[in-house]
Structure 1
Amino acid sequence: MITRMGLPESARTDAARLYWAGFRRKLAPVVGGGRTVGVLADALVPAQVMGAWDGDRLVGIACLQDGPEPPLRLDRTGFRREFGLLRGAWRRLLSYFVTSRPPGADELLLDVLAVSPDARGLGVGTTLLSAVADEARTRGRHRVKLEVVDTNPRAKALYERFGFRTVDTVRTPYLRRLLGFGAVDTMRYDVR
């Protein structure tokens, strides 16, 4: 398996499928119900996606952010075009609750880590985390930051095994019925 930064145009749909498979519960209120994979594929910024490849098959992605621009650009125009004026505005508002806070000056944000369901348990997530830490070093960042929801204990356990530690928890129990989660942990990994 190899990892590389930058997503070829031919892999956008595969990356969007991985994204959706990994984040369906969290993103369904925001982008579900339309041509979901197409919306995600259109919104992905290929330069900010690291892929894990098993031969020519994309088995995992890590979406990274080191400045103000997120790796998934869900803009007002796209929401309006996909869902109409009112539903698009409502979904855009909901998107603020599921997007990560931007990284600090010395941080690399791991916005998304998604592994193909048939490749889970094979070390793809750990391989991507190692590659993300290397990318942070290359960019001169001192830590990697990520956010994980309370309904994803498996991902949190992976991050903790790798060396991430929880530095903050935001509880939003009033959003549990709407978005499917009631707390978000911010975790950090110090790059050595």
Structure 2
Amino acid sequence: MSTSQSRLAASVPGRLRIRQGAADPAQLGHWQTELTAWPEVQSTRLNPEARSLIVHYRIAQCDQAEMESRVLTLCNRPQQSESQNAQAQARHPPEAVTTQAPRPVKRVHRAAWRRRANRGAKIAALVALPVSIALVYAGNKRLHAATGWLFVAALSVHLAIHRRNVFH
């Protein structure tokens, strides 16, 4: 049985949340046990009601993209029986489990691009709105309209990036 429904729900440097769509609490507990054995993991917290697992890690030992990749690799690998787990651990000592997993370059690149685009859109919106309001009082209708449209465009970019959260 595959656990392909795991996804990264939130991630900031030093903390990430993995959400599992149809996981049983035992599987989440198994992941929690494995993650607490990793040297860079400071703490984990299980939330069975939300079917999620929060991981706090040391960013000095493992950067955000690497930790995301490693945790998703752990959570999305096929489940094994206890005898298969024992055989795998006999072949690969626990140190081998903590080696760096290959990074999903495309996903990391896309997330970085979205963060940069969203940051630029928020800055543009925060600058354009007060400037547009000030131009109303200055009596310059043409620049007021231009900065108003800049605000609308920046807001549209922000909403497009966060469409899943806004229109859910």
TM range (shorter): under 0.3
- Given the two structures, how large is their TM-score scaled by the length of structure 1? 0.22
The answer to which structure, 1 or 2, has the higher relative contact order (CA under 8 A, 6+ apart) is 1
Quick check: which has more Rg, 1 or 2?
Answer: 2
More helix by share: 2
- Given the two structures, how large is their TM-score scaled by the length of structure 2? 0.24
